Structure 1
Amino acid sequence: MGCRRFPLFSFCLATSLIDRLPPMIVTFTPNPSLDITFTADHAIQRGQVARMATSQTIAGGKGVNVSRVTHAMGHSTLAIVPCDPQDPFVRLLALSETPFEIIPTDVPVRVNTTLSEPGGVTTKLNGPGALLDDSAQRAAASMLLRRLGGADWLVMAGSLPPGAPNDWYAQLAWQAKQRNPQLHVAVDTSGSALSVLLNPTMAAPVDVFCPNTEELIAAIDAPVTAESIEDAALLGDFRPAVQLAQPVIRRLTNAHHRPVMLLTLGAAGALLVSATQIHIATAPSISVVSTVGAGDCALAGYVCAAANHAPAPERLTQAVLWGSAAATLPGTAVPTPAQLTGLHTTTTHFSPTTTKV
């Protein structure tokens, strides 16, 4: 493939793809990161010096991770990220062979550090991110709109960086849909950014919301705990999870907009919830190494299945299988299709009369 030269850097794979064929799945990661994972072979004691068994550094961020999995699955993808062209992040992302394009900034990306201990105990320390000013925000929106003309999916994922308004994902979703009315939009975020999107008065045109239990509870200020929801689901009772998610989706549903929620439930599996239907997928039995990035891989599995026009149960199945495979790997490593071999899940339809699954 030919390589187009840019000041300070080049990326052959990304530019050749976007010149010749619009990507099917575009991801936007406004707050990317250098993800450093330290793996210990013993329990870490706070306040003490700990020698790590291994370490790994990759170019990360939720949308980047989705593109990495999507690329591994053989789908056309493009990851869009703001960063300094000279940042080590660019070289690491190029080494992953994931097609990407950067929005040039003059500040380095943040550093996220993961400590992984035996038994799947994971501690994550996330940096706040670099300030994204108004000019960079306008550049990001402009680039997204240019790349969405022939895309099927836009995945916007991760926290918003300092400087970005809480409703930025909603604004971008509206602009994207105006540019490409056939586009499907998925958002995976948390905190105030998720709260805004789940507010019916915002009416953001998001097709798929992808929170985990804790993120959803915090976003809607529900008087329950993630532990109680997931413990019940582990025992086969998914009703508390359904009662948490479905009212949210029903409030967002109208004659012109029928969103769904992919709600991940940790070791219990996941739900796929619409206003009228609910599907449940139980998680396969695995040895958990790190849950970091598992949700990103679940979303990638869902979106790729949806891009292949798979029915809802199969989309959920693929989400759970890819998320589970990711949990068997250290840090934010993403699985390959071969690493799904031997993993099995059961996907069922939930009805109001269901007591246990």
Structure 2
Amino acid sequence: MIVTLTANPSLDRTVSLSAPLRAGEVQNADAVREDAGGKGINVTRVLRGSGAASTAVLPLDPSDPFGAVLRAADVPFTPVAVHGATRANLTLADADGVTTKINLPGVTRTSADGDALIDAVVAAAAGARWLVLAGSLPPGLPDTFYVDVIDAVRGAGFDAGVGPRIAVDTSGPALREVVRRGAPDLIKPNDEELAELAGVSLDSGLALPEAVAAVAAGLVPARVGAAFVTLGGDGAVLVTADGAWHGTPPPTRVRSTVGAGDSSLAGFLLAESAGAGPEECLRSGIRYGSAAAALPGTQAPTPDDLLPGDVPVRRL
């Protein structure tokens, strides 16, 4: 079982354009679709589509139709009752795969909402292999919220061998606090988020994978167990206490990058849960991320969607 927490879920509306976006002009859309979104929910959708057990913990107003969207997508979820409808995010994707995303802040949550979410995560995480804390925090919850979740889970005794490893996929102050105080087992930033986290610029004198690995090595294993850093079309880098690896994606016709990073994390966890080593975990993460990028909207790739072609992995 892999449990995910999405503190700030969203209804993702994706509008497909036949031409590049022209700011200030009127354009016709080719298609529109709606998907249950939010980074943790996306991870659960991919895991479920690949046959793995997963459940998503999220805040949900009992009258919010977002619950029906989740059920229609066959997403197992544990709702925490709150007031206020789920936010709606808008994505504009043109035929060349260029994506413009507009994310709304979401409903302000109270400290009582936060406490209820933590209690629900602790209950759901008993016996889980991984707990994934993913996405932005809604207004009202502190930057330290994910640290509070980690402390509560580990305080329940889960760090004694009966609870989950903890993966975190967020950015900005929330990620900085997790790395400073939370000691997660895995983080999954992209290259820009990693540089912001470390407070440095990537070394322009190095190739991107080498530059990313050098920065991540300053965090692993002192602050985090491992860093899985996605690089878009340049693949991904994995840094652990045992070394660093870079993987290159298969040829991909990009249709939408929304959810690709979440799918990468799901692919990584699928391989890790099956007992794979670091190179195969990296390869699986890249395969799932590439498959997501080749699909429209925020669709969750399944094994049938994985692209042909090799995913070369080299040790850095």
TM-score range, shorter chain: over 0.9
Q: Does 1:160 align with 2:131?
A: no
Counterpart of 2:186?
208
Question: SS of the residue aligned with 1:247?
Answer: coil
Q: Does 1:219 align with 2:197?
A: yes
Q: 1:219: how far off?
A: 2.1
Of the candidates 217, 235, 242, which is equivalent to residue 213 of structure 2?
Answer: 242
Of the candidates 21, 30, 40, which is equivalent to residue 63 of structure 1?
Answer: 40
Cα distance between partner residues in 2 of 1:34 and 1:326: 18
Of the candidates 22, 28, 39, which is equivalent to residue 51 of structure 1?
Answer: 28
Question: SS of the residue aligned with 2:106?
Answer: coil
Counterpart of 1:302?
268
Quick check: 1:33–1:109 contact (8 Å CA) kept in 2? yes
Quick check: 2:15–2:93 contact (8 Å CA) kept in 1? yes
CA offsets 1:214-252 (integer angstroms, 9 cap, x no match): 111122221348xx59x934xxxx321211211122431
Of the candidates 290, 301, 304, which is equivalent to residue 338 of structure 1?
Answer: 304
Structure 2: which amino acid aligns with 1:33? S
Structure 2: which amino acid aligns with 1:248? L
CA offsets 1:112-132 (integer angstroms, 9 cap, x no match): 100001211100000001111
Superposition map of 1:166-181 within 5 A = 166-179=143-156, 180-181=158-159
Counterpart of 2:178?
197
Cα distance between partner residues in 2 of 1:343 and 1:301: 16
Superposed structure 1 runs of 4+ greater than 3 Å apart:
none
CA offsets 1:151-200 (integer angstroms, 9 cap, x no match): 1110010001111111111121122123212311000000110111222x
Question: SS of the residue aligned with 1:313?
Answer: helix
Q: 1:348: how far off?
A: 2.0
Instruction: Let me know the Cα RMSD of the aligned residues.
Output: 1.6
TM-score, normalised by the number of residues in structure 1: 0.84
Quick check: 1:321–1:343 contact (8 Å CA) kept in 2? no
CA offsets 1:257-290 (integer angstroms, 9 cap, x no match): xx00000011111011023411111111111111
Cα distance between partner residues in 1 of 2:171 and 2:74: 28
Superposition map of 1:63-212 within 5 A = 63-179=40-156, 180-181=158-159, 182=161, 183-199=164-180, 202=181, 204-212=182-190
Cα distance between partner residues in 2 of 1:341 and 1:328: 9
Cα distance between partner residues in 1 of 2:114 and 2:177: 18
Counterpart of 2:226?
260
Aligned residues: 312
Counterpart of 1:272?
238
Quick check: 2:44–2:56 contact (8 Å CA) kept in 1? yes
Counterpart of 1:232?
207
Q: Does 1:37 align with 2:14?
A: yes
Q: 1:111: how far off?
A: 1.1
TM-score, normalised by the number of residues in structure 2: 0.95
Quick check: 1:174–1:205 contact (8 Å CA) kept in 2? no
Counterpart of 2:315?
349
CA offsets 1:130-160 (integer angstroms, 9 cap, x no match): 1110111111111111111121110010001
Cα distance between partner residues in 1 of 2:307 and 2:229: 24
Structure 2 runs not aligned, ≥5 long: none
Quick check: 1:260–1:272 contact (8 Å CA) kept in 2? yes
Question: SS of the residue aligned with 2:74?
Answer: coil
Cα distance between partner residues in 2 of 1:343 and 1:151: 33
Cα distance between partner residues in 2 of 1:144 and 1:343: 38
Structure 1 runs not aligned, ≥5 long: 1-23, 254-258, 351-357
Question: SS of the residue aligned with 1:34?
Answer: strand
Q: 1:341: how far off?
A: 4.5
